[in-house]
Structure 1
Amino acid sequence: MAAKRFLDDSGTDPDHPNGKRIKTSRSLASVIGEVVTGNFLQNFCSTLEPMLRRVVNEEVENSLRRVGGRSNISRSPSLRIQAPEPTTSSLQLIFNKKLSLPIFTGTKILDADNSPLEILLFDVGPDHQLIRTSLARPIRVEIVVLDGDFPAGESDAWSSAEFEKNIVKERTGKRPLLTGCDQGVTMRDGFVAVGEIEFTDNSSWIRSRKFKLGARVAQGSCPGVRIREAMTESFVVKDHRGELYRKHHPPNLEDEVWRLEKIGKDGAFHKKLASAGVKTVQDFLKMSVVDPSSLRKILGMGMSDKMWEVTVKHARTCVMGNKLYVSQAPDYSIILNPVCQILKATIGGQPPRAIKDLHPMERACVERLVREAYHNWNCLEEIEVPMNETPLLTQGDGVEEHYPNCYQQTLMGSYHQEHAFLTNGSMGPGPGLGSASSNEWLLVQTGVGYNISESSSDGELR
């Protein structure tokens, strides 16, 4: 027996004459329309959301600028609100010393004392007086490379944006311009030392052809306060291959002669000097003392008088150390410095007199002794004076201290550039320098400024 059907009023139409149920059906077009409409609304909302966020972000930033940063509103990551610009302060980073120049690629950057770079924190007073200071907490300092022409002119004021704009980056396809473990350092108590840091590229490819080193506080390290950046002087960075041809300041006695200014390695002057046996700076200085006219003739007309002056001036900055050279015979003994300048002599004869009181024959006698010592340099006895008894002499310096006399076991006295004593006219020229016995000694005292000038052909010494 079939179950009874329950009446459902919802299936009948009261307006229909027969009161029968009307079946409704959805068309395919209506279904597709609903799907398209749903997708459109979803896509529209997805597109509209970031637009609304950006508008809200801009409005909030405008409001913060109008308020002037007085509102302490925390940053919202979702809206990406930028923090207000740090307020200007009187604090400034400063490099403690100038750089050691020249600078080559692949070489550690040091200061003028060949020590690691040091950065200090100062408080600049109203009268530009610098006062060392420090902060309560450590700050992170970044080392960057700047264009050598920044800032333009004599200006010593710049903004953080200008500083950022003038940072030099590496060339395309090159390694980072500045490398080393200390590109970023932590400053504590207002001081930090920068250790291993070096350039990987030269500075010839930028317009100014020069770099500067800059130091700035890393972003977020000291929020709310702007600490002015530090900057070095402009400098050229040369390729490390150029270091092989680098001049030494000051030169060393044992340096090859091309280390002097105006004498290029394997150049014409270098070859001429080498062929004449002048191979080191010491050789150059000895010949410039004993026979400067011959040395000048070796270099020839290609070296102008101005170039000659530059070369000789550079050579005379050489540090001479504490070695002395002795030439002796039974009736005389002379002591020379490393460049053949006479410092002391003991010669049989009469009491000493000043050089100005000597006649040309007497001066020619001493000149002959010096020349003989020069030509027999390798036969001279070399002695070293203790460092605490003699200064490190530089060519042209005066001497105020004593050298010990190794032959009389006593100090022979101090010698000053303005006093020089030789023997009197009783001593005749020639081998043996007279008839005085070997136990009759006179002291010849001259300063390191003693020189045999180009006019010494007439026997005059000065």
Structure 2
Amino acid sequence: MGPARQIGGSSPKRIEGPDGQNLQLHFRSRLSLPLFTGGKVEGEQGAAIHIVLVDVSTGHVVTSGAEASAKLDVVVLEGDFNNEADEGWTQEEFESHVVKEREGKRPLLTGDLQVTLKEGVGSLGDLTFTDNSSWIRSRKFRLGLRVASGYGEGTRIREAKTEAFTVKDHRGELYKKHYPPAQDDDVWRLEKIGKDGSFHKRLNNNGIFKVEDFLRLAVKDPQKLRNILGSGMSNKMWEALLDHAKTCVLSGKLYVYYPDISRNVGAVFNNIYELNGLISEDQYYTANSLSDEQK
């Protein structure tokens, strides 16, 4: 073996190759979940997905030799393949769990389906799932890596696998609620407001298109807002809707209203018309410090 460098993490289980080498491919990054059809497969927080070739007996990355420059195939595996993380598997077991596309469908995984290691390290390229995972037994997939045909002959390099994950249809993403909602989100991103449903249409017909519009009326005239939504919305739904809306992070903009030209006293409001405080004779008083009479 050539020179190696130490990496963190626990060593995978020892695999004896025919020449005594103990090599395994390993994913060094976790996937960003959930995954949707048509969406890019990425690491957590949008990072690249890194892979390494490890000498299992030492935990070091193999940085030289033919194996350190091997070409790898990216494949999709059954989600229930080898549930025990420390359990070994044979090449035949790995191959028997590779998932192909459904009949009549496009290839299940598209994009850069091969990776070439450089000094034992590589990164996945652009990858996209074209189908969801609901149709297979476990209802989940894994990504797998194996040495491409013609590389690493005579040496058993154990394949890599990711954690099991669900792939959902992209249309689920299109209708997803946001936690927390943004003030410029469409109002149907709030709980209990279905996209193009009756509540959504009622709000739109009354000029409420964004979460910010909803919050402004909730502060200014909550009863009017409740009436717009009508009797089809139960009190429990109304409370859940308000609770979700109130988690919205506001812009931080403040507005001062002076009731007369002297500008001796000004009321300070945030962007959804909540009273933040009072300016009086160049002094600022928070809303909490004001008496009911002052408010």
Contact 1:253 1:318 in 2 (8 A): yes
Instruction: Give the direction of change, closer, same or farther, for the CA distance of 1:171–1:88 in structure 2 (3 Å limit).
Output: farther
Q: What's 2:45 paired with?
A: 113
Contact 1:94 1:121 in 2 (8 A): no
- CA–CA separation in structure 2 for the residues paired with 1:291 and 1:87: 76
Within a 5 Å distance, the mapping from 1:308-347 to structure 2 comes to 308=238, 311-321=241-251, 323-329=253-259, 330-347=263-280
Equivalent in the alignment of 1:229? 160
State the shift of 1:293 in Å: 5.3
Q: Which residue of 2 aligns with 1:157?
A: 87
Percent identity (aligned): 41
Residue 107 of structure 1: CA displacement?
A: 2.8
Equivalences for 1:207-246 in 2 at 5 Å?
207-223=137-153, 224-238=155-169, 240-246=170-176
Q: Does 1:135 align with 2:77?
A: no
What is the aligned partner in structure 2 of residue 97 from structure 1? 30
Deviation for aligned residue 1:252: 2.8
User: Is 1:196 paired with 2:129?
Assistant: no
Once the two structures are superposed, residues 145-174 of structure 1 have per-residue CA deviations (whole angstroms, 9 ceiling, x without a partner) of 12233334x555241333222211011222
Q: Would the alpha carbon gap of residues 99 and 349 (structure 1) be closer, same or farther in structure 2, given more than 3 Å must change? A: closer
Partner of 1:205 in structure 2? 135
Q: Which of the two has greater strand per residue? A: 2
RCO higher in 1 or 2 (8 Å CA, sep ≥ 6)? Answer: 2
Please tell me whether residue 178 in structure 1 is matched to residue 109 in structure 2: yes
Deviations 1:81-103 (A, max 9, x none): xxx86868364411413224241
- Tell me the SS of whatever aligns to 1:214: strand
- From the two aligned structures, give the one with the greater helix fraction: 1
CA distance in 1 between partners of 2:253 and 2:223 (Å): 27
Contact 2:144 2:160 in 1 (8 A): yes
The one-letter amino acid paired with 2:190 is L
Q: Distance in 2 between matches of 1:217 and 1:187?
A: 10
Q: Report Cα offsets for 1:71-124 as digits up to 9, x if no partner.
A: xxxxxxxxxxxxx868683644114132242412x3322233224433344566
Alignment of 1:276-291 (within 5 A): 276-291=206-221
* CA distance in structure 2 between the partners assigned to 1:167 and 1:213 by the alignment: 9
Alignment partner of 1:264 out of 182, 189, 194: 194
In the alignment, is the contact (CA less than 8 A) between 2:115 and 2:125 conserved in 1?
A: no
Q: For the Cα contact (< 8 Å) 1:251–1:315, is it kept in 2?
A: yes
CA shift, 1:278, in A, is 2.4
Q: Retained in 1: the 8 A contact 2:30–2:43?
A: yes
Distance across 1 between alignment mates of 2:116 and 2:161: 15
Q: Deviations over 1:325-348 (max 9, x none)?
A: 343342333333333334443035
The alpha-carbon distance between structure 1 residues 271 and 323, as it changes in their structure 2 partners (threshold 3 A), is same
User: What corresponds to 2:184 in structure 1?
Assistant: 254
1:285 is paired with a residue whose SS is helix
Pairwise CA RMSD of aligned residues?
A: 3.6
**What one-letter code is carried by the residue in structure 1 that aligns with 2:22?**
S
Structure 2: segments with no counterpart, 5+ residues: 1-16
Q: CA, structure 1 residues 225+344, in 2 after alignment: closer, same or farther (shift >3 Å)? A: farther
The answer to whether the Cα contact below 8 Å between 2:278 and 2:287 also exists between their aligned partners in 1 is no
- 1: distance between equivalents of 2:21 and 2:192? 50
Superposition deviation, residue 281 in structure 1:
1.1
Confirm or deny: 8 A CA contact 2:24 2:160 kept in the other structure. Answer: no
Query: CA 1:355–1:201 in 2, change beyond 3 Å: closer, same or farther?
Result: closer
Greater CA radius of gyration, 1 or 2? 1
The Cα of 1:297 is off from its aligned counterpart by: 5.0
Distance 1:103 1:132, change over 3 A: farther
- State the 4+ residue runs in structure 1 displaced beyond 6 angstroms: 84-88
Kept in 2: contact 1:94–1:229 (CA 8 A)? yes
1:112 alignment partner AA = E
Q: Is the 8 A contact 1:109 1:116 kept in 2?
A: no
Deviates more, 1:300-309 or 1:165-174: 300-309
SS in structure 2 at match of 1:198: strand
Structure-2 separation of matches of 1:265 and 1:296: 18
Q: Is the contact between residue 120 and residue 132 of structure 1 (CA under 8 Å) also seen in structure 2? A: no
Instruction: Note the residue ranges of structure 1 that are not aligned, 5 or more in a row.
Output: 1-83, 367-462
Following TM superposition, by how much is the alpha carbon of 1:352 offset from its aligned partner in structure 2, in angstroms? Answer: 5.5
